Structures are given as structure tokens and as C-alpha cells.
Amino acid sequence: MKIEKEKLLWMYRTMVQIRVFEERIGSEFAAGKIPGFVHLSSGQEANAVGVCANLRIDDYITSNHRGHGHLIAKGLPLDTMTAEIFGKKTGVNKGKAGSQHLTDMAVGCLGAEGIQGTPVPVAVGAALSAKLRGSDQVAVAFIGDGTLNTGRFHEGLNLAAAWKLPFICYCENNTWAESTNIYDVTALTDISQRAMGYGIPGVAVDGNDVFAVYEAVHEAVARAKKGEGPTFIEGRTCRRHGHFEGDGHLYRSQEDKDECLKKDPIPRFRKKLIEMGTMTEAEADQIEREVKEEMEKAVKFAEESPFPEPEEVYTDEFA
């Protein structure tokens, strides 16, 4: 599939942005500068980027606890995101959301949800709205493998299928839900077969190959826009970090962790783009430098921003 150069470069830059962002957030968290919990998506960048490269800014996504990458790929700036995760007044959600609930309708993100399963029916609602309003927008729910076993996954998929909605359920199968391996609590091994139960296409792709993700989602978006209904896509990927920062993931074998490091989607994409002549080594390095600088500025912005005033507790409860 032909993807124009400009888009390929955006995809590369965005994957690097996510990695740099996540690793920096991880080190800021370790340094005690971030309150609460953070769940990082390092290693899963090809999923967020391969999906969002097919979306317009007015298309919709819902996200989960491991959502930083989805939001960056959907267009949220690094500085207000970082400020949010630091709990600052200048954060995209004024410090009220934190890492786990980043929300911004300006980039079509209905919200990152901490209650597993919820992203599915909420995105189905956005897809319904697009259909009822006669718009050609699509909606994507980003979920993890663990979420497949919530009731809401089932209800959401069936509803979207029955109503032939412009909806895509994208499942990042990193095989772990916290400390639990998905195959220890799920009898079906080919997860994409779940789609059969809803009478919709189910596709499994290499979630560490951004081209494979892009192509599968491209087809799903085309199908959605033609009024043919939803698609379920399983991106087979892996988690480089613990479930949350501070989780030593001792429950994983060293082999599993090493394998994951080897499957890094970023050097793989970089190599391909250089082979294809889309960019040179020097240009790739330049992108990495620029992104690191951008993140440096974002952290500085977050650090220098004030915390919200106490009165802010009482604002925003109602529209």
C-alpha cells in the first residue's frame, strides 16, 4: 500500500514522540515528580500511530489507562499533556484528570477511561452519533487484551454490529493484564475470532509493524465509511515496562521480556524508511533530536507551571 512521504514522516516522528514521552515520564515518575500511577505504552507505538494515521482530527477515539500514545497520535500537544500528568493548572484537564483520564474533544478524544471495558460502548456512541448526524466520521476504541473479558466489550461490539456503525475496536494484545496472562484466563487463543460471534470481520495483525496496522485500519475505515459496519482488529504487540511504573513485572519470564525488546517497532520502521528512501539516517537523527528537544520543553513547561488554586475543586462539575 502506498503511503505518501509526508504521512510516513509524520508516523515516524509520532512514534518517536511517544517513546521519548513515555521514557521521560517514566524517569520523572521515578524521580518522584509525578503523583499517582502511570502506565506506559513503550513498545506499543506502532498501534497508536498505525491507527491514528488513518484518522482525521475530527474522528473519534476512546482510550484506556495506557493511553498516552493514543492521545499523542491523535494530536494532543506534549506540553499540556505533561503538565496534566504533573498535576498542574496548565494541564489539558487542569490537573483534574492525571495520566489515566486524559480527555480533549478538540482532538476527538472522548476520554481515557480507567474502568476497563468502558471505551468500547462510549466509542460506539460516538460512531452512532456520526451516523445519525450524517457525517463521515469514524470512531475507534483502543482497548487491551484484558478488556476483552468485560461484559461491555460484548455489548458494545454487538450493538455496533447490529446498527452497522462506523466503529473500529482496536485491541492491543500485549498478552498481559496487570500480572495476569491473558491466555490463563481466556480459552480462545486466536482473539480475532471473537469477531465471528458478532458477524463482523476480525483481523489479527503484527502490532509491532506500523505498516501492517495502518493497512488493516485503512480497510476498516473504508468499510465503516461505506456504511458496512464495524471491524475488530487485534494488534499483537508487547509491553516493555511493568503494568505501572514501579511494577517490577517479576511474573514474566526473562525470555518474554527480552523478546519484547527485540521486537521494538521503532528501529524496524526507521530501517524500512531509510531503505525506501523516505528519509536519510541524518534526517532520522534530526527528527529524534527535535522530539527530544520538544519533550525537554514540555517538561520545563510542566515544572514551571503552578498547581491549581484550591477553589478549582468546586469548578467544572456541571456544564
Which chain residues interact with ligand TPP by CB under 6 A? Answer: 65-66, 114-116, 143-147, 174, 176-178, 239, 243
User: Are 171 and 148 contacting, i.e. CB atoms less than 8 angstroms apart?
Assistant: yes
Q: Which stretch binds another protein (CB under 8 A): 133-141, 161-169, 274-282, 303-311?
A: 303-311
Chain centre distance of CA 42: 11
Question: DSSP string covering 146-196, please?
Answer: GGGGSHHHHHHHHHHHHTT-SEEEEEEE-SEETTEEGGGS-S-S-GGGGGG
Among 45, 113, 145, 288, binds Mg ion (CB under 5 A): 145
Q: Which stretch binds another protein (CB under 8 A): 173-181, 209-217, 255-263, 290-298?
A: 173-181
**Alpha helices (runs of H) in 40-77, residue ranges in sequence order:** 45-52, 68-74
Per-residue mark of binding to Mg ion, 159-178 (x: CB under 5 A): ---------------x-xx-
Q: Which stretch binds another protein (CB under 8 A): 19-27, 33-41, 223-231, 253-261?
A: 33-41
**Minimal distance, residue 171 CB to ligand TPP, in Å:** 8
Among 63, 147, 174, 278, binds another protein (CB under 8 A): 147
144 is a contact residue toward Mg ion (CB under 5 A) = yes
35 Cβ partners below 8 Å, 6+ apart? 87, 98
Q: Which is nearer to Mg ion, 86 or 176 (CB)?
A: 176
HEC-encoded secondary structure of 118-160: CHHHHHHHHHHHHHHCCCCCCEEEEEEHHHHHCHHHHHHHHHH
Q: 40: closest CA among 303, 289, 301, 246?
A: 246
246 is a contact residue toward another protein (CB under 8 A) = no
* Residues forming the site for another protein (CB under 8 A): 35-37, 87-88, 91, 95-101, 113-117, 146-147, 149-151, 177-180, 184-186, 251, 307-308, 310, 312-314, 317
